[in-house]
Structure 1
Amino acid sequence: MKTFVVAAAIAALAVPAVAQEFDGQLKARQGQFRILAINLGILGDMAKGETEYDAEAAQASADSIHAVSMINQGPLWPEGSSEADLDGTRAKVEIWENFDDFASKWSDLSAPATNLQEVAATGQEALGPALGQLGNACSACHDEYRASAN
């Protein structure tokens, strides 16, 4: 019994240590998704006519999306930082079971992000199709590797 109590105490102390170990990576990867969401919201509202189209603002948002799509993801996804390991993440364990596919799906974001960047300042009518392509790339990854929100 004494051994069990000691083992339980060690395990309880290890959980916060793991969470702290990956705190920076978790914040960084969630931060990049917030940047994407904010800028996609701006462009989506323009595409739907809910806000007035502004070429300069559209270009700035597209540039931000493109910049995020170019971030090296490897350091942000250390093994042991899934939803099964940490609170506050929706990253499924399948990411690490098939990391090459996950990384490939992130790379697939680059082409539609580049296209969006190229057309954002050309007019409102170009936003919808470009956002659709980008959304397809996002969904391809989210469908397999992001857990549902509770």
Structure 2
Amino acid sequence: MKPRLFIGASLICTVFSLPALAQENPEIQQRQGQFNLFVHNFALLGGMAQGRVDYDAELAQTAADNLFHVTRHNQSRLWPEGTDAESVEGTRALPAIWENLDDFMVKFAGLQDAAEGAQAVAGDGLDALRPAVGALGAACQACHQTYRAEAG
């Protein structure tokens, strides 16, 4: 199969196989996509910080740059009311987000700050990277404790 035809066929299959939830609430799919990109890059930095992945300054810097940019995506359209775990299936976002949106946004700003801190030091070696990865993890956890339901 030619590459363009394969890509086109793959896209068509993907579009027609989307669950009803995503079609009814694209915001959920889009915000989950944003966080999947975040996790993809954070996992690499975390692996380096924990010694499970060999440190590579260029790769670390690229991942940190990606995190910075992913956290700068405008959030305003990703969190409409009625897209919480008690209202629809397919999300772990708790209604507490909309009950205390100001605090939620403060916590997201903390994630942005941690991503900026990681970007500033990621290419400077493991001794600089490790505390930055710790700050990223703490920023994630601060929000998850209050605003994300347990898996399951």
Q: Same fold (TM over 0.5)?
A: yes
Paired position in structure 1 for 2:140: 138
| Partner amino acid, structure 2, of 1:49 | G
Paired position in structure 2 for 1:46: 48
TM-score by length of 2: 0.82
Displacement of 1:18 in angstroms is 7.8
Structure 1's unaligned 5+ residue stretches are 1-15
Select which of 16, 31, 34 maps to 1:32: 34
Matched pairs, number: 134
Mapped to 1, the partners of 2:57 and 2:105 lie a distance apart of 32
Paired position in structure 1 for 2:80: 78
Mapped to 1, the partners of 2:47 and 2:103 lie a distance apart of 32
Mapped to 1, the partners of 2:21 and 2:151 lie a distance apart of 22
Mapped to 2, the partners of 1:17 and 1:128 lie a distance apart of 41
Equivalent pair of 1:73/1:103 in contact (CA under 8 Å):
no
Displacement of 1:79 in angstroms is 0.3
Mapped to 2, the partners of 1:73 and 1:107 lie a distance apart of 11
Are residues 1:21 and 2:24 paired?
yes
Equivalent pair of 2:22/2:28 in contact (CA under 8 Å):
no
Mapped to 2, the partners of 1:18 and 1:53 lie a distance apart of 39
Mapped to 1, the partners of 2:138 and 2:50 lie a distance apart of 18
Aligned pair in 2 of structure 1 residues 123, 19: CA closer, same or farther (>3 Å)? closer
Mapped to 2, the partners of 1:88 and 1:18 lie a distance apart of 7
Write out per-residue CA displacement over residues 93-120 of structure 1, whole angstroms, 9 at most, x where no aligned residue: 1111111111111112121111100100
Aligned pair in 2 of structure 1 residues 123, 20: CA closer, same or farther (>3 Å)? same
SS at match of 2:77: helix
TM-score by length of 1: 0.83
Displacement of 1:17 in angstroms is 8.3
Equivalent pair of 1:19/1:86 in contact (CA under 8 Å):
no
Percent of residue pairs bearing the same amino acid type:
49
SS at match of 1:75: coil
Q: CA RMSD in A?
A: 1.7
Structure 2's unaligned 5+ residue stretches are 1-18
Equivalent pair of 1:82/1:93 in contact (CA under 8 Å):
yes
Larger gyration radius, structure 1 or structure 2: 1
Equivalent pair of 1:62/1:120 in contact (CA under 8 Å):
yes
